[in-house]
Amino acid sequence: MEVVIAPAQELAVLAADAVEGVLGSRGEPVLGLATGSSPLAVYDELVRRHVEEGLSFGRAWGFMLDEYVGLSADHPQRYRNVIATEIADRVGWPAERVAGPDGAATDLPAACAAYERSIAAAGGVDLQILGIGTDGHIGFNEPGSSLASRTRIKTLTQQTRVDNARFFDDEVDQVPTHCLTQGLGTIMEARHLVLLATGRHKAQAIHQLVEGPVSALWPATVMQWHPHATVLVDEAAASRLQLAGYYRQTYASKPSWQGL
Ligand code: GLP
């Protein structure tokens, strides 16, 4: 696992470089998309490259991590709409090439199974962008999630609903109680995981992710088993890392031509 500690804007550029590398790597590259605040600076940087440098998403496929259950099709916090607003529409990504689990389906287990099939049919995810919840979730894999789980229905913790209330006019009761999420086993099949976290409120989750024992109590710790996982954190999110000095030294001595 590579840990990079740098100011937030630098982290966004590094992640965008990795995405740009994937976009140019094969005919129909596959990107895994995350919602939340953490990837927004990356999306802004990708939009800038699209506008100023012609970076194209036209042949890429996008697969979202998760989706709330029960939000109406036009709800602004439906993750499908969030991804359209934050990146897809801004880079001219054809809507039919960006998919998410269908949180409005009448048969939710069937929708989850169909989503797994569509990711596999696209050849799997080349690069998965991730954020992390304060309780250590990735996607919406809350504590207690099976480390081998597949796309399925999950119940949100109260902590996550409180954390996400800021997107629902600070009304926690407006935050849905359930979601569909790629499982930890699904996420682990992506060929490269790039997780971003900023702020002191993420420091405990980052410490556990990088240095804690692998445990369903901190679901992101499963990433310790991934052969190509990158953790991009600012000083505040890195503030509880025991081996921060070693991570800094390792990254500082990395050849400049080598990407993430
Ligand atoms: C949500 C999303 C996650 C995201 C997490 C952290 O619950 N389902 O994919 O990583 O929140 O969000 P933020 O980046 O806003 O802190």
Q: What is the pLDDT of residues 54-97, one digit of tens each?
A: 999 999 999 999 999 999 999 999 999 999 999 999 999 999 99
Residue 53 is a catalytic residue: no
pLDDT of 174 over the 90 cut:
yes
Which residue in 138, 226, 230 sits closest to 183, CA to CA? 138
Q: Whose CA is nearest to atom 9 of ligand 1?
A: 139
Query: Do the beta carbons of residue 192 and residue 124 sit within 8 Å?
Result: no
* Contact partners, residue 229, CB within 8 Å, separation at least 6: 1, 2, 192, 193, 195, 223
Q: Which helix (H) or strand (E) holds 224?
A: none
For residue 111, what are its two tokens? 């929708």
β 192-197/127-130 pair status: parallel
The region that residue 212 occupies, defined by phi over 0 for left and psi between -120 and 50 for alpha, beta otherwise, is beta
pLDDT of 257 over the 90 cut:
no
* Contact partners, residue 222, CB within 8 Å, separation at least 6: 147, 184, 187, 188, 214
Index of the ligand 1 atom closest to the CA of residue 164: 7
Query: Do the beta carbons of residue 230 and residue 192 sit within 8 Å?
Result: yes
pLDDT of 52 over the 90 cut:
yes
| Residue 193 confidence (pLDDT) | 98
Query: Do the beta carbons of residue 117 and residue 187 sit within 8 Å?
Result: no
Which residue in 183, 238, 174, 170 sits closest to 209, CA to CA? 238
For the full predicted model, state whether its pTM sits above 0.75: yes
The DSSP annotation for 145-167 comes to --TT--SEEEEPPHHHHHHHGGG
Q: Whose CA is nearest to atom 3 of ligand 1?
A: 139
For residue 182, what are its two tokens? 């790629």
Expressed in angstroms, the distance from the first to the final Cα of the chain is 10
Residue 137 is a catalytic residue: yes
| Residue 169 confidence (pLDDT) | 97
| Residue 230 confidence (pLDDT) | 98
Candidate of 83, 140, 202 to mutate for ligand 1, largest count of ligand atoms within 8 Å of Cβ: 140
Binning pLDDT at 50, 70 and 90, where does residue 44 land? Answer: very high
| Residue 256 confidence (pLDDT) | 83
| Residue 142 confidence (pLDDT) | 96
Residue 235 is a catalytic residue: no
d(CA 2, CA 87): 26
Query: Do the beta carbons of residue 139 and residue 153 sit within 8 Å?
Result: no
